[in-house]
Every structure is written in C-alpha cells, then in structure tokens.
C-alpha cells in the first residue's frame, strides 16, 4: 500500500523562502540573485558588508542560511573557505561568533536542522528568517569577527 505524499512541491518551498527573506531586499536594499540546479537552489542576498545565502538542498530535503563574506561585490567563491579565509558560516555559528545568540532561538534552530522533508524545510526557513531579522544589525557590526582578514590555519572547509 502506498502512503500519500505530504511533500510540498519544490516551487512552493522556493516561493516560501522568497517570502520569508524578502525583507533583505525591501528593508535592507540587498541585491537578489538565484542559483537553481537539480540538487539545490540558492537564494542570495548580496550586500556591501555581507551576503546571505538561503540554500535549499533537494537531496537532503533541508534548508539553511549561510552568512557570507561579500567578495569583490558579489557572492564569495569556494564554499566555507577561500584563499585560507573563512567566507561562509551557518547562521547558528555566526550568531555564536558574534556573541548575539538567543539560547532558545538557537536551540529551536538546531532542532529544526536535524529534520528533513518539505515541512521541515518550511520550519527551517521560518526560524532562520526570524533569527536573522532579530540579529542582522549585530551580525553586520560583527563582520570582522565572523570573517577575519588573516588566513585561518584550521582544518575548516
């Protein structure tokens, strides 16, 4: 017996992400870019100081937010590291590095990221957008902590 699918269509999830993060364009004036591949969709909001990437992983059926270093006016090359420098961090890590994490919001976000499926993706998007709305000024102010100029010698990346 086949169980009915509760998976939401990909275009529904992408539209939900656009809705949740629209404030980055409308309130913050960040430039919107998109990258759509079979395995993932990335909605990028590029600013002078930082870039925010909403990644929807279609294989894992998970969504997450990366806080990024803006490089030469655009999205950074590489993934977590480029030229020995950190260029992307997950939102929870960024909040912790900047010293602005709300313990309950962080716990909720960590819990949500352990789930997968389209319903989980909607929750991940909603919680990430809410956390970013409440912390964006602190994250931008702490950009030098998130993305130090000196190369990192750790095994990150």
Per-residue pLDDT reduced to its tens digit, 46-67:
999 899 999 999 999 999 999 9
Please, which pLDDT band fits residue 152 given cuts at 50, 70 and 90? low
Token duo for residue 51: 């870039």
Q: Say what the pLDDT of residue 154 is.
A: 52
Question: Is 154 among the domain residues?
Answer: no
Task: Count up the domains in the chain and report the number.
Answer: 1
Q: Which domain holds residue 17?
A: 10-142
Question: Is 109 among the domain residues?
Answer: yes
Highest mean pLDDT range out of 3-17, 26-40, 139-153? 26-40
- Residue range 5-9: average pLDDT? 74
Q: What would the pLDDT profile of 86-99 be if each residue is shown by its tens digit? A: 999 999 999 999 99
- pLDDT surpasses 80 at 156: no
Question: Is 148 among the domain residues?
Answer: no
Question: Is 76 among the domain residues?
Answer: yes
pTM, full prediction? 0.89
Q: Among 66, 59, 74, 55, which Cα is nearest to 14's?
A: 55
Q: Which residue has the tokens 């994250």?
A: 139
Question: Is 153 among the domain residues?
Answer: no
Question: Is 29 among the domain residues?
Answer: yes
Sequence-distant contacts of 28-34: CB under 8 A, at least 24 apart: 28/136, 33/75
Mean pLDDT taken over the chain: 90
Q: Among 10, 72, 5, which Cα is nearest to 43's?
A: 10
DSSP-based three-state secondary structure for 62? strand
Q: Contact 42/55 with Cβ under 8 angstroms?
A: yes
Q: Say what the pLDDT of residue 7 is.
A: 79
Q: Which residue spans within 47-152 are E strands per DSSP?
A: 50-57, 62-69, 81-82, 85-86, 88-90
Q: Among 54, 87, 81, 44, which Cα is nearest to 69's?
A: 87
Euclidean distance between CA atoms 127 and 110, whole angstroms: 10
Question: Is 151 among the domain residues?
Answer: no
Euclidean distance between CA atoms 149 and 62, whole angstroms: 31
Q: What would the pLDDT profile of 16-50 be if each residue is shown by its tens digit? A: 999 999 999 999 999 999 999 999 999 999 999 89
Question: Is 74 among the domain residues?
Answer: yes
């Amino acid at each position: 017996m086949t169980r009915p699918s509760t998976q939401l269509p990909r275009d529904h999830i992408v539209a939900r992400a656009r809705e949740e993060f629209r404030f980055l364009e409308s309130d913050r004036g960040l430039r919107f870019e998109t990258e759509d591949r079979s395995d993932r969709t990335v909605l990028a909001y590029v600013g002078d100081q930082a870039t925010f990437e909403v990644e929807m992983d279609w294989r894992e059926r998970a969504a997450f937010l990366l806080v990024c270093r803006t490089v030469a006016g655009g999205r950074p090359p590489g993934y977590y590291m480029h030229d020995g420098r950190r260029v992307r961090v997950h939102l929870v890590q960024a909040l912790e590095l900047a010293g602005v994490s709300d313990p309950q919001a962080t716990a909720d976000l960590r819990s949500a990221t352990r789930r997968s499926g389209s319903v989980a993706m909607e929750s991940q998007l909603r919680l990430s957008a809410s956390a970013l709305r409440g912390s964006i000024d602190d994250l931008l102010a702490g950009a030098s902590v998130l993305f130090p100029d000196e190369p990192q010698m750790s095994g990150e990346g």
